[in-house]
Amino acid sequence: MAHLEHDPNKRPDRLRLDDLSHVAPMHASVNPSGHMTIADVDLVELASELGTALYVMDEAALRHQLRAYQDAFDQGWADYAVAYAAKAFICKAMCRLVDEEGGWLDVSSGGELAIALAADFPTERIIMHGNNKTERELVEAVTVGVGRIVVDCFEELQRLQQICEGQGLIQKIQLRIKPGVVPDTHSHIVTGNEDSKFGFGIADGWAMQAVALALAANNLELCGLHAHIGSQIFNYAAYDDTVNALFALIQKSQAELGYTPSELNLGGGVGAAYLHEQEPPSIEGFVQLILEVIAQKCDDFNVEKTAMRLFIEPGRSIVANAGVTLYTVGAVKDLPGVRTYVAVDGGMSDNIRTALYDARYECLIANRANDARDAIVTVAGKHCESGDVLVIDGSIQEPQVGDILVVLTTGAYNQSMASNYNKQPRPAVVWLADGQAREVVRRETYEDLLACEVG
Ligand code: LLP
């Protein structure tokens, strides 16, 4: 993995992080006290200062991942946009970071758009998504001048045309296409198959119909096609199939409508390593692969490569490994012949992914990071149901009450999917860089829990 700065000879103190170095944040290490650090910040001290549960992120790693996409495109394509998928993790600081790095932002609701606007994110670099955008969301998006709206259904095409006509505006759009491809990932996060609620199918002729209608809509400028096939994908062959399917559509549209799109958006989906045995192919490898296939197809169908703008919408691969969650161990229940439960002060309210997708995580004890992880435990949360587990049968140092337990790879779809179940206040988010900690989202309070109550 190109993004790893892992040199055990140079960093002999990284002993027990060695087998986790491509799962842990890029600037994770262990200090002489045996405490895990990120960007030279001691996580045990951080936990005692800010409390647990706590989301912690390696800021430089976020920038590094975004740049890895941009550098890879720079090597092989003239016109492109890397749009960070905000649903993976969004707050104002994240929007500013993406802006500073020159990226675009993919938002999938009026709420995500509101956060982007609060961060003064340039609206012309925002892509608006959603499979059932409300009238209000569409009006907001058009009014603030988002760069692209990805249209998902016929009703929306009509609604958006009416709104733009009413406002006397022309809105740039892409059409969300279902390429009929099934990547190898959890069924909940497959999105480009024929039995999907998203987009216009190719096989059933809807996609061609949508292209024709979009071209006929006076206030919509059809820029191109979009396909997002799913998430946490390791086998990139599915992207080959997607590009093939999109170009088959392009060929048809050229022949029947004389229309060649000038933009192709391949969505997100690049997988992250959650377990030490997982080695997802690199971002560079992914970009090279899609560029090769697209270049070939452009040649085959006489599409000028320099006139084709490529979009990509990575979420997980930017933020997942940069984030960890810190908890305090409150109880250890060793059930003879059954399992050992380690109860922590968070759970399914800050990480629903284990319950929802059978997600698996690596964990360790931050205050004894150099000790061997030779205990096998199940990390349970504090919520009122048995499905409230974070790590099932994970390796960890022998746990003790008061330990700071770290769950790795929690940067993507953890805070963004967090809830107040059992009226648990959501944790703060802290960014670490150059030995400094910066709170970017504060911890919720009981007052926050009551803030919407009017009765
Ligand atoms: N673009 C579109 C249109 C999407 O729907 C998504 C994710 C992305 C980009 C970013 O995909 P990524 O690069 O992050 O794979 N909650 C699930 C993941 C749902 C993904 C939804 N769409 C999870 O926790 O695994």
Residue 10 has pLDDT above 50, yes or no: no
Write the pLDDT tens digit of every residue in 367-392: 999 999 999 999 999 999 999 999 99
User: Under a CB-based contact definition with an 8 Å cutoff, are residues 351 and 389 in contact?
Assistant: no
Q: Please state, in angstroms and rounded to a whole number, the distance separating the CA atoms of residues 277 and 349.
A: 27
Distance from C-alpha of 355 to C-alpha of 332, rounded to nearest angstrom: 21
DSSP annotation of 236 reads T
**The two structure tokens encoding residue 74:** 């720079």
Active-site positions? 384
Compute, in angstroms, the gap from residue 268 CA to the centroid of ligand 1. 6
The answer on pLDDT for 6 being more than 60 is: no
- Residue 353 beta carbon below 6 angstroms from any ligand 1 atom: yes
Average pLDDT of span 313-318: 98
Could you tell me the pLDDT band of residue 4, with boundaries at 50, 70 and 90? very low
The answer, yes or no, to whether residue 14 has pLDDT greater than 50, is no
- The finding on whether 315 has its CB within 6 A of some atom of ligand 1 is yes
Residue 274 CA to ligand 1 center (angstroms) comes to 16
pLDDT-derived band at 187 (thresholds 50, 70, 90) equals: confident
At residue 8 the predicted structure's pLDDT band, cuts being 50, 70 and 90, is very low
Q: How confident is the model at residue 182 (pLDDT cuts 50, 70, 90)?
A: confident
Amino acid at 259: Y
Q: Give the chain's mean pLDDT.
A: 94
Banded model confidence at residue 430, pLDDT cuts 50, 70, 90: very high
pLDDT tens, residue by residue, 39-91: 999 999 999 999 999 999 999 999 999 999 999 999 999 999 999 999 999 99
pTM, entire model:
0.95
- Is residue 173 within 8 A of residue 148, CB to CB? The reply is yes
Take atom 20 of ligand 1 and give the residue whose Cα is closest.
231
129 close to ligand 1 (CB < 6 Angstrom): yes
**Nearest alpha carbon to residue 65 among 88, 46, 92:** 88
Any atom of ligand 1 within 6 Å of the Cβ of 65: no
Query: pLDDT of 106-154, one tens digit each?
Result: 999 999 999 999 999 999 999 999 999 999 999 999 999 999 999 999 9
Alpha-carbon Rg for the chain, nearest whole angstrom, is 23
Q: How far is residue 132 from each of residues 109, 128, 136, 197, 230, measured CA to CA in Å? A: 9, 11, 11, 10, 18
| Tokens at 380, concatenated | 């349970």
Look at residue 189 in the predicted model and tell me its pLDDT: 75
pLDDT band at 16 (very low <50, low <70, confident <90, very high): low
Residue 341's contacts (CB-CB under 8 Å, 6 or more residues apart) are 331, 332, 333, 335, 377, 378, 379, 380
- C-beta separation of 225 from 175 below 8 A: yes
Q: What is the mean pLDDT of residues 240-258?
A: 95
The finding on whether 227 has its CB within 6 A of some atom of ligand 1 is: no
- Bridge partner list, 175: 151, 225
- How does pLDDT run across 287-310, given as a tens digit for each residue? 999 999 999 999 998 899 999 999
Backbone angles phi, psi at 245, to 5 degrees: -65, -40
Cis peptide bond prior to 53, omega within 30° of 0: yes
Lookup: tokens for 233:
């994908």
- Report d(CA 350, CA 56) in Å as an integer: 12
Q: Looking at the predicted structure, is the pLDDT value of residue 3 above 60?
A: no
Task: State in Å: Cα 412 to ligand 1 middle.
Answer: 9
State in Å: Cα 313 to ligand 1 middle: 9
Report whether pLDDT(263) > 50.
yes
Distance, in Å, from the CA atom of 179 to the CA atom of 162, rounded to the nearest integer, reads 28
